[in-house]
Structure 1
Amino acid sequence: MTHVSVRRGLLYVSIAATAWGTGGAAGALLHQTGGLGPVAVSFWRFAAGAAVLLLARLLFGLGGPRPAGPLTTVRRARLARRGSVLGRVLVTGVAMAVYQTAYFAAIAESGLAVATVVTIGATPVLVAAGGRLLLGERLGATGLGAVTIALTGLAVLTLGDGWAAFSAAGVGWALLSAAGYAGVTLLNRASTDEPYATATGGFVVGGLCLLPVASAQGLLPSGDPLVSWAVVAYLGTVPTALAYGLFFTGLAAVRATTAAVISLVEPVGAAILGILLLGERLTPATACGSVLLLGAVALLALKERGQAPVPV
């Protein structure tokens, strides 16, 4: 796997979070124009993402060069790692399917605002705890302050209408979604596996997990097929194949908690798209929450770069 610098890792995770911010709008458009249920949308997202990465690997050799060395040595190394790589891919795919489905269930129970603030807000907390216990990552005073600022900004940004739709079941689904996302982040932190191969395998496994429910909801989109499949293509390419590939690559250089906090800019991107494309108003809560979130991300990015080893 090619070495990734901290600066490049921060850039990759930031691009991934920005791309994820467009996924919600694309999924909503596919639901409106194609009449697909939320799980069916997630299935096509995973299926299209896997197809895009497989095509990129065939056409452009995406995934890096083959390991150098004698053929027997390469084969021994591949056989030795095959079990661990397969296990990582299986767990990643199942976790991705779980947190996608649980998030949609949380929205159905509590509404978009509460589901978003609990799911995305709980993720960096779970990642920080898991990173400390499992990876030995120390958050420090600066990191703790950045997480607190980020969670405050997220609450201000997404809870403009308050907790009117609060329900215990909705919060439970949201926490399950956060746990799945945190598990994917921790599992792939500093992994030596090829990140695009991990993403491809995760999409295949996740898609297979979602296929039965998606089929029950109605698998094929209705309406204008050109529009529906164009949205599927975009959903699979930008907020899925590109975003997850870059996110897994960035995790090789950036601490898990930092990556989780940077991912909080996803609702900022969604809010900006809503203002620019959907005619939504820029409210004081949106502006204040966005500033707090982006400030927390900048603080953690500076801390991460300051702790990066100096090249020799």
Structure 2
Amino acid sequence: METTTTELNLQPSSQVLALLSACGAGVIWGTGALVVNILVAQYGFSPGNVSFWRFVIGAVVLVGFFWNRILWSRIAPLLPLIILAGAAMAGYVLLWFLGIEQMGAAVPTLIALCMPPVIVTVISIIRGQERADLQLFLVLLGALSGTVLITTRNADSAEHFGSGSMVLGVTFSLGSAFLYAGFSMVNGRISKALGAGPTAACLTLVAAVIMSLNFLFSPFIWPTEIPPQAWFLYLGIVTAALALLAFSWGAVRLSPTALTVATLLEPLTAVILSALLLGQHFGGLQWVGSILLLFSIWLLGRRVSANNEQGALAKGCNG
């Protein structure tokens, strides 16, 4: 009985910590979005160049830190999946940037961030990994509606873009969404087998190699000034290494639905920082969207805790 009680007390708290870890990854990625915007707008770096150095720095940090914990005998059976997941990670970032280049930031961001929770939820329900109920519907509805309100206030008008650019932008954004959904669904499996740290190291290394192919189209440029150098290091160490580590740790303990919903804090963080640091107006609808998103994540936390209490109780009864 003592063991069962311990499981009931520790298991839900572990799940809540995992949800907080995934939320932390979303917040960190939100700061990265602002930094990338600064590097592109103020210093003239291309998104591809920024992404390449971000992954390279992240890979160096993660591989250096977790080198002794990487068990190559465990990697070998998972190598094809690791390569696919790392390529998906590089691909969804690159396609998102390509979508933004074609039609501005608002619509690609909405597609790339809002579609993955829907995709992984549908797949998880079909596979019996997620229970379809009213609470799940409310979590998704609140989170997606909140994200829409947060990101569309300063949306670029479609009149500024041609029909060809719109089609390409939507295509790239859809590709980004599906790649991110796939990445989220397999990350947990890899992390369970290798550990969150080695998984983050391997995936970032693969992503850096994939992004290096962009050299075929344009050279990679390392900044010569101190401010952009500091931003590049921040992107690599914090938004690539630390954020992916937090994401992978959460992926071991959360469903893909919970994982992708939690990271919707990314656009909220970017918008809040833009208001605080760049003087952009934070409108009433964005406040409403923020409340909806935060309420949905709180409701998601209650759902995660309740589901795991039920699972621990059933395990104790069966034992």
Compute the TM-score of the two structures, normalised by the length of structure 1: 0.87
Q: Give the Å deviation of 1:262.
A: 0.8
Matched, 1:118 2:122: no
C-alpha contact (below 8 Å) 1:43/1:214 kept by paired residues: no
Whether the 8 Å CA contact 1:85–1:193 is kept in 2: the answer is no
Would the aligned equivalents of 2:66 and 2:198 in 1 still touch at CA under 8 Å? no
1:155 is aligned to 2:148 = yes
State the number of aligned residues.
Answer: 293
Match of 1:293 in 2: 293
Query: For residues 49-198 of structure 1, what are the structure 2 equivalents within 5 Å?
Result: 49-57=58-66, 63=69, 79=73, 81-134=74-127, 136-161=129-154, 164-165=157-158, 167-190=166-189, 191-198=192-199
Residue matched to 2:281: 281
Contact 1:50 1:200 in 2 (8 A): yes
Give per-residue Cα distances to partners, 1:132-191, cap 9 Å, x unaligned: 234622242201111011111111111124573282221111111011111111012253
2:66–2:201 contact (8 Å) kept in structure 1:
no
What are structure 2's unaligned runs of at least 5 residues? 1-10
Residue 271 of structure 1, CA deviation: 1.0
How large is the Cα RMSD of the aligned pairs? 2.3
1:13 counterpart letter in structure 2: A
Change (3 A) 1:201 1:261: same
Map 1:21-36; keep pairs closer than 5 Å: 21-32=30-41, 34-36=43-45
Q: What is the distance in 2 between the residues matched to 1:132 and 1:209?
A: 32
Distance in structure 2 (CA, Å) of the matches to 1:42 and 1:285: 31
Secondary structure, aligned partner of 2:279? coil
1:10-55 per-position Cα deviation (integer Å, ceiling 9, x unaligned): 1211111111111111212233454321111111111011111123
Is 2:300 the counterpart of 1:307?
Answer: no
Counterpart residue type for residue 160 of structure 1: R
Matching of residue 254 in structure 1 with residue 254 in structure 2? yes
Shift of 1:223: 5.0
Range with greater deviation from structure 2 (95-104 or 160-169): 160-169
TM-score by length of 2: 0.85
Structure in which a larger fraction of residues adopt helix:
2
1:221 maps to what in 2? 222
Give identity over the alignment, percent: 29
Q: Which residue of 1 aligns with 2:264?
A: 264
Paired amino acid for 1:213: N
- CA 1:242–1:139 in structure 2 vs 1: closer, same or farther (change >3 Å)? farther
CA distance in 2, matches of 1:214, 1:36: 14
Specify which of 46, 49, 53 is matched with residue 44 of structure 1: 53
Secondary structure at the aligned position of 1:36 is classed as coil
The answer for the alignment partner of 1:70 in structure 2 is none
Q: Secondary structure at the match of 1:5?
A: helix
Within a 5 Å distance, the mapping from 1:223-242 to structure 2 comes to 223-224=224-225, 226-242=226-242
Partners of 1:227 and 1:99 in 2: CA distance: 27
- 1:53 maps to amino acid: L
**Aligned partners of 2:142 and 2:296 also within 8 Å:** yes
What is aligned with 2:6?
none
2: CA distance, partners of 1:258 / 1:57 = 27
- More moved, 142-151 vs 162-171: 162-171
**Are the aligned partners of 1:45 and 1:236 in contact in 2 as well (CA < 8 Å)?**
yes
Please say which of residues 176-185 and 83-92 is displaced more in the overlay.
83-92
CA contact (8 A) 1:36 1:219 kept: no
Q: Deviation digits for residues 217-271 of structure 1, max 9, x if unmatched?
A: 33113451x2222111110111111111111111111111011111111111111
